[in-house]
Amino acid sequence: MLVFLVVVASIIATVIALNFIPGEKKVQTRISEIYSVHDPQFLRSMSHLLGPPLVSGNQVKELINGDEIFPPMLAAIRAAEKTITFETYIYWSGEIGKEFADALAQRARAGVKVHVLVDWAGSAKMDDQLLQLMKDAGVEILKYHPLHWYHLARMNNRTHRKLLVIDGKVGFTGGVGIADNWLGNAQDADHWRDSHFRIEGPAVAQMQAAFMDNWIKTSGEVLHGEDYFPPIEPVGEHYAQVFKSSSSEGSESVRLMYLLSIASARKTVYIANAYFVPDDLSVQTIVRALQRGVKVKILMPGTRTDSEPVRRASRARWGELLEAGAEMYEYQPTMFHCKVMIVDDVWVSVGSTNFDSRSFRLNDEANLNIYDHAFAQRQIDIFEDDLKKSRQITYEAWQRRPWSEKLLEHTMALLRSQM
């Protein structure tokens, strides 16, 4: 009996180690500030380091809150003629979950090839009848890393990607999950503030490829051909790229993108992020930007948050940033779930990625990067409008917080590698 218990304990310890001890090396040294965002070398570096290159001819439109986000997504699904590919972390039962399920099922019944990949943990609140409704209609729906013995070593690796591609030509990505929290217009504490983005143009093929990455890993099936990757003509003036990261390959891609973007800033860095828990190198990179005269503004959730431990861990990291001159804000009306970074009025990164170790090293993520002055200015205007509904936290106020809060925050910060 004792031998059996020892074996079981050893297996459990091994599983925990495999899930919580990262296996790959991470960027540990300073990113050299050798060129700016406006230097052509910046785009070359981003294109080669992150994988797919930035391509011209795209058109990206921001969608603000559920009232603007869900109708175009649903309209695109209902207009699909050949294929729909959809990957998301959160998919819960409820009003909007049922509406998406009905739309996807209707197109599958009409002969459209519909492929849906939901995260096993993120879809825990999806009723079986909703799954069955889609399956009965012909939707091919799978769960990423479900609870099986052969997934135990990867249970901590979730897909956090939010990708919807219609006919290989129109794509959507951003922060929104499929749940009633995102309905409405952030009008009260029950309706979240978030942004999503619609894209047309050649970069949609990169978004499709990001979906295919996890679809192949989950199903073993390769979806290809013109129905999924059709010829795409230029439709706009935006340079854009969609790149992906995961714990099994390219885990440093998204973290490197953030670090390199901040290191290349010369005027401004605006970060709007739902879960901002920077590691030491990220803090150092932001501080160096401040020291060379870059204005840094960081917007995060306030007390209305879905993860108080993350907020506490975040606040423990603010001292060095505030002292160096960063402006830190907490959004007040409701949960703030955006994931947007704007650098020097031209470079914008949006998508599923949070500014924390979980997104940087553990989750599967995908971001859309856009290089365009007009688009960046619109995102700055939206950012500044959100600041009007936020409370700025000064270094003095941060220092004066009660010792009990400091103790709790530093305790939570010890767990930041899993946040």
Residue 105 corresponds to which amino acid? Answer: A
What's the token pair of residue 221? 């099936």
Q: With H, G, I as helix, E, B as strand and everything else as coil, classify residue 377.
A: helix
Q: With H, G, I as helix, E, B as strand and everything else as coil, classify residue 336.
A: strand
Give 328's contacts (C-beta < 8 A, 6+ positions apart). 298, 300, 318, 321, 322, 392, 393, 398
**Residues 73, 172: contact at Cβ < 8 Å?**
yes
What span, in angstroms and rounded, lies between the C-alpha atoms of 366 and 359? 10
DSSP-derived secondary structure letter, 81: S
**Residues 156, 15: contact at Cβ < 8 Å?**
no
Which positions are annotated as active-site residues? 160, 162, 167, 337, 339, 344
Give 82's contacts (C-beta < 8 A, 6+ positions apart). 112, 113, 167, 168, 227
**Residues 52, 306: contact at Cβ < 8 Å?**
no
Tell me which residue has tokens 């939206």. 382
The H-or-E segment that residue 85 falls in is strand 83-88
Kindly report the CA angle at 307 between 301 and 308, in degrees rounded to 5?
A: 80
What's the token pair of residue 291? 């020291």
What span, in angstroms and rounded, lies between the C-alpha atoms of 22 and 151? 16
Residue closest to 197 by CA, chosen among 33, 68, 318, 97: 68
**Residues 179, 109: contact at Cβ < 8 Å?**
no
The H-or-E segment that residue 335 falls in is none
What span, in angstroms and rounded, lies between the C-alpha atoms of 233 and 225? 17
Quick count: other Cβ atoms within 10 Å of Cβ 157? Answer: 20
3-state helix, strand, coil in the chain (%, to 5): 40, 25, 35
**Residues 240, 318: contact at Cβ < 8 Å?**
no
